[in-house]
A = this chain, B = another copy of it.
């Protein structure tokens, strides 16, 4: 459990990551925004899924997901097939073209990082990656378990015990 000042400093550094994210976005080709890359990446890592699942993984509203997905579908990078089990739902699948596209995009950003982080050790890169994954996990937990907020108790919460 750290001090307030340390959290404030972490907060500033997290905000500053925006600059890095913009650098990464700048190496992407036109008509290929970050949202598209995120969709392709998650479909590649987790396999076929429905909209609602993707929205959860992206941690954005489904309306946002819907627009990102429409964008990549328009370009033939994914397919939206009806879910036989639930006609309201659509199953998203990466197309071969989308897979190729993702590889190219990954290469672009990986090359940028390789250039900028050329003096980082393998361990440092792995360390940062691990801590960021853990950071994300710490925030995700609190989405599932709404957390230690003082609020009126409702009977049917699906809250996980801490």
Contact = CB atoms under 8 A, between A and B. Distances in A.
Interface of A: 1-4, 6-24, 34, 37-38, 41, 59-60, 106-107, 109-111, 113-122, 124-129, 131-136, 138-139, 141-142, 147-149, 162
Q: Is the interface of A mostly helix, strand, loop or mixed?
A: helix
A117 B138 contact: yes
A34 B124 CA distance: 29
Contacts of A60: 22
B59 A110 contact: no
Given A59-B19, A122-B1, A135-B128, A148 B13 contact: no
Given A23-B139, A127-B131, A139-B23, A11 B109 contact: yes
